[in-house]
């Protein structure tokens, strides 16, 4: 008997016990959906992180106060009591750094601001960042309208601002209408000279809801003695970054007046470091998804084995007739194994479809790409094949060992 004949027999047997087969396939489907869905979402999150941090450039690095950063997992940065980097130190570094690179000085001013124009105003969730004339090109942010700060504007503290496209649409409906308008940022007037290109309001580090103001202006309004300034360096090529980091570390030690035996009280980090940390943490999600998926699949495997045992008990007479007509033990064994595998594959295919939809739903929410996880699809099909063989083996052996004489007398 060919494999196709066995599959057709399996389909006929499934049709005869359709409800039980559907319930078992559904349990298998939920296990595969949990596995494929969460892992697809993790892949989407990784792609989104890489995309967002790639805009900052692989050839960028930051020099910031040591002990500041992001606490992410066990490898996160832990706060220490180190002195902040002052504006004079940051600007001295910028002026003295003679390596062929672009240097920008910035700091985070406020995270809960409101921007107003006449009777219109935004929600109080606007971030205000201070930067110089090099902040935009180093950060990979483009302007859809207007122009960037000039060096004179950044150093003189003129009240001009670059606003995100989301803010421009909230206040003016179109970015073009925002140009040369005076808006109020926390009740302080700023002339809009540019609108930053939209990148999606849910994206990481999106400029849509950000106001960028000149460094010296922000210093006068938002800074205090504890404000720390971040110096970002962009070299021409990624291959130069290690040499530039070594050069900048030596210069910053000189700027901070550190002795040879003193440890560095500042931190140098590449722009993709946070992305790397977050992606490393996703391994915990992957492990949890795998455990959840396999637990669900274990329940489905037990249910499938139970259904196959019931099927064997109900088809004792059918097995006896087949053996009386010449069916071998191997033929009966293969028939029941194929039936178990077919039920599992139905559940697996349905679960893969649900998993791709669920995983990409999460990915799209964070502005990630649509992903077809071919590897997980192949893995899901293989897992279902193994589960089908494992769950169907014992019932198939029971069926193959049925005595044909006793089975023909079975009522």
- CA-wise closest residue to 193 among 164, 235, 163, 222: 163
6-15, 95-104, 293-302: range with highest mean pLDDT? 95-104
CA distance 13 to 307: 12
Does pTM surpass 0.85? no
CB 128 within 8 A of CB 167: no
- In this predicted structure, the answer to whether residue 400 has a pLDDT above a threshold of 60 is yes
Q: State whether residue 203 is helix, strand or coil.
A: coil
How does pLDDT run across 326-384, given as a tens digit for each residue? 778 888 888 888 888 888 888 889 989 998 998 888 877 777 778 888 887 888 888 88
Q: What percent of the chain has pLDDT over 90?
A: 24
How does pLDDT run across 177-217, given as a tens digit for each residue? 999 999 999 899 999 999 998 875 444 456 788 999 999 89
Q: What is the pLDDT of residue 201?
A: 47
Dig out the tokens for 256 from the structure.
């901070």
Mean pLDDT of 56-78: 62
- In this predicted structure, the answer to whether residue 237 has a pLDDT above a threshold of 50 is yes
Q: State whether residue 188 is helix, strand or coil.
A: strand
DSSP string, 111-163: EEE-EEETTEE--S-EEEEEE-TTHHHHHT--EEEE-PPPHHHHHHT-SEEEE
Listed by start position, the domains of the chain span: 3-52+278-408, 59-270
CB 257 within 8 A of CB 85: no
CA distance 101 to 347: 57
Pairing verdict, β 210-214 and 126-131: parallel
Q: What is the pLDDT of residue 204?
A: 47
Q: State whether residue 233 is helix, strand or coil.
A: strand
CB 256 within 8 A of CB 231: no
Q: What is the pLDDT of residue 297?
A: 76
Q: State whether residue 334 is helix, strand or coil.
A: helix
CA distance 108 to 91: 16
CB 266 within 8 A of CB 66: yes
How does pLDDT run across 257-307, given as a tens digit for each residue? 988 888 888 888 876 555 555 556 667 777 777 787 778 778 778 878 888
């Amino acid at each position: 008997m060919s494999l196709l004949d066995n599959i057709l027999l399996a389909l006929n047997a499934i049709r005869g016990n359709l409800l039980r087969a559907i319930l078992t396939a559904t349990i298998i489907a939920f296990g595969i959906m949990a596995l494929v869905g969460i892992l697809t979402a993790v892949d989407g999150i990784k792609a989104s992180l890489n995309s967002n941090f790639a805009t900052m450039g692989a050839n960028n690095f930051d020099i910031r106060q040591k002990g500041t950063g992001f606490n992410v997992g066990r490898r996160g940065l832990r706060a220490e009591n180190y002195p902040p980097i002052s504006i004079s130190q940051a600007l001295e570094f910028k002026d003295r750094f003679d390596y062929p690179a672009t240097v920008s000085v910035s700091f985070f001013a406020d995270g809960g601001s409101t921007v107003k124009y006449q009777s219109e105003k935004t929600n109080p969730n606007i971030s205000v960042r201070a930067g110089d004339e090099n902040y935009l090109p180093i950060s990979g942010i483009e302007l859809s309208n207007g122009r960037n700060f000039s060096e004179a504007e950044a150093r003189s503290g003129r009240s001009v601002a670059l606003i995100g496209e989301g803010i421009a649409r909230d206040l003016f409906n179109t970015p073009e209408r925002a140009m040369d308008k005076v808006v109020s940022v926390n009740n302080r007037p700023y002339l809009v000279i540019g609108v930053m290109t939209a990148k999606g309001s849910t994206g990481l580090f999106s400029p849509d809801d950000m106001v960028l103001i000149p460094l010296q202006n922000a210093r006068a309004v938002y800074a205090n003695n504890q404000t720390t300034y971040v110096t970002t360096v962009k070299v021409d090529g990624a291959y130069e970054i290690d040499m530039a980091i070594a050069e900048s570390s030596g210069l910053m030690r000189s700027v901070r007046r550190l002795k040879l035996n003193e440890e560095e009280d500042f931190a140098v980090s590449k722009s993709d470091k946070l992305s790397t940390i977050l992606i490393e943490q996703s391994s915990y999600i992957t492990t949890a998804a795998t455990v959840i998926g396999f637990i669900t699949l274990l329940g489905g495997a037990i249910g499938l084995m139970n259904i196959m045992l019931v099927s064997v008990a109900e088809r004792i007479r059918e097995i006896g007739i087949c053996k009386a007509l010449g069916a071998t033990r191997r033929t009966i064994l293969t028939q029941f194994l194929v039936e178990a595998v077919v039920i599992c594959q139905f559940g697996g295919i349905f679960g893969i479809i649900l998993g791709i939809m669920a995983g990409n739903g999460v990915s799209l929410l964070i502005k990630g790409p649509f992903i077809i996880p071919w590897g997980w699809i192949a893995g899901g099909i293989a897992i279902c094949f193994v589960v089908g063989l494992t769950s169907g083996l014992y019932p198939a052996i029971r069926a193959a060992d049925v005595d044909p004489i006793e089975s023909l007398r079975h009522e």
